[in-house]
Amino acid sequence: MTEFPKKSVYVETYGCQMNISDGELMEGILVDEGYEVSSSPEQADVVLVNTCAIREHAEERVLGRVGQLYALKKNRPEVILGVTGCMAQRLGEVLLKRAPYVDLVMGPDGYRSLPEQLNKIRTGANSVPSRSPKKRGPQLAVLDLSIEENYEGLTQRRSSQVGAWVPIQRGCNHRCTFCIVPYVRGPEKNRKSREVLSEIQEIAESGRTEVTLLGQTVNSYESEGVVFHDLLRSVARIPGIRRVRFTSPHPNDVTPELLEVMAEEPNICEQLHLPLQSGNDMVLRRMLRRYTVETFLEKVQLARNLIPGLSLSTDIIVAFPGETESQFEDTLRLLREIRFDDAYTYKYSLRDGTPATRFPQEYFVSKDEAQNRLAKLIEVHRSIQAEINEAEVGRTEEVLVEKEGRKSGQVLGRTRRNKAVAFIAPADAIGTYQQVLLTGTTGATFMGELLD
């Protein structure tokens, strides 16, 4: 019998946790079809760049990278170069025209058919004529969004032995006026709770002890009468699972019931990401966030009352169209009042096709002004974060060791409150829980000492 060499794939992922998880899904789908996963593009027959469309900057980086990867084809014209994910969905066939060396563009709902589409490209089995007689086959665009594709029944190839991302929901039913996600990932689609729970049982049996449930508005999850806090409680009780996290919740669906489940279940970490976006009601209204500063503050208060020691993180956008200097100052003030442990900070980035692009021209904040606001915001956030973290030095925390650190002999891990800690420990500590004394902080992360 002739032994055919195995086909191999390299997936390079940009963007959010959902996208990282999608990268693992694509690898899993292809491994099931007999592919090997390569750790570098030079060794792979199929190279997929799994992209993000959330901000312009993210897209520019990817376009540059795809251009670089084109070089692989000079020596090996048979390499298939694909662009997947949100930017592929957004630019679609425009991307194939702009980068004629790209063989495949595939949006986030197309991955189930990945092996089949790659075969089509390989064999040229498509009625569209090839763009060049020297090339194998035609370029392919797989861009249909689906109201039901939730990738049930497919295996994700998990790259970490310690923790696992588990998408429970895809797409989003909101229409925040700045956001491209609903247009590139379609409407909200939830998986059946039964399937989610059995997947997490398998994750636990594989020895992984931490799971992070993923969704664009993860806490609006509902399937066959099971709502998010029910699912969360069941996940937290699966034997072998010691830490449960979820991201990203929408503030409006942070209910007292959810906070009570978080407070009652010892395996759910004292950590909540609560995207604020702006500290001014007018801006929030223009963003169509559907909450006010007051209702947001009520949620924060309730969460902190019910869950002692809760660590809070957020997302903030500055220079949204129409944001005045004083409205921006409101955001700074609110940051000082709430004191988030962590904040992801962004300048507004215009995304074609989103409602915010239609604001009058004079609403748009200049680049320089946007940059100034971002710099101020980061400064305020960093000083708050440093104060919070300095006050935590001297505590002993349970750390789940995730990977080796940059310095030799060092490992990196996280506390239950999702704070990163670097400390000296043998590499075989990876995957274990350790008591670690926090001995210092850089402001954002901690240095620690392993206790016996």
Please tell me the distance from the alpha carbon of residue 414 to that of residue 158, in angstroms, as a whole number.
19
Number of residues in contact with ligand SAH under rule CB under 6 A = 17
Q: Residue type for 98, please?
A: R
Q: Residue type for 298, please?
A: E
- From the number of C-beta atoms within 10 Å of its C-beta (0-12, 13-18, 19+), residue 337 rates as exposed
Q: What is the signed CA dihedral for 143, 48, 152, 354, rounded to 10 degrees?
A: -40
Task: Determine, following the binding rule CB under 6 A, whether residue 172 of this chain makes contact with ligand F3S.
Answer: yes
Provide long-range contacts, Cβ within 8 A and 24+ apart, for 355-360: 355/175, 355/177, 355/288, 356/177, 356/178, 356/286, 356/287, 356/320, 356/321, 359/286, 359/321, 359/322
Task: Determine, following the binding rule CB under 6 A, whether residue 217 of this chain makes contact with ligand F3S.
Answer: yes
Q: Are 106 and 88 in contact (CB under 8 A)?
A: yes
Task: Determine, following the binding rule CB under 6 A, whether residue 179 of this chain makes contact with ligand F3S.
Answer: yes
Task: Return the beta strands (E) in 41-85 as ranges.
Answer: 46-51, 80-85
Q: Which stretch binds ligand F3S (CB under 6 A): 12-20, 172-180, 238-246, 265-273?
A: 172-180
Interface of this chain with ligand SAH, residues 210 to 249, rule: CB under 6 A: 216-217, 248
Q: Which stretch binds ligand SAH (CB under 6 A): 25-33, 103-111, 143-151, 346-354?
A: 346-354
When the beta carbons of 228 and 348 are compared against ligand SAH, the nearer one is 348
Q: Which of 250, 286, 299, 381 binds ligand F3S (CB under 6 A)?
A: 250
Q: Are 315 and 275 in contact (CB under 8 A)?
A: yes
167 contacts which partner out of ligand SAH, ligand F3S, none, CB within 5 to 8 A by kind? none
- CB 244, min distance to ligand SAH, A: 17
Q: Which of 126, 146, 349, 372 binds ligand SAH (CB under 6 A)?
A: 349
Q: Are 13 and 23 in contact (CB under 8 A)?
A: yes
- CB 176, min distance to ligand F3S, A: 3
Q: Are 244 and 269 in contact (CB under 8 A)?
A: yes
Q: Which stretch binds ligand SAH (CB under 6 A): 112-120, 185-193, 345-353, 370-378?
A: 345-353
Residue ranges in contact with ligand SAH by CB under 6 A: 16, 54-55, 178-179, 181, 216-217, 248, 275, 277, 315, 317, 346, 348-349, 351
Residue ranges in contact with ligand F3S by CB under 6 A: 172, 174-176, 179, 181-182, 216-217, 250
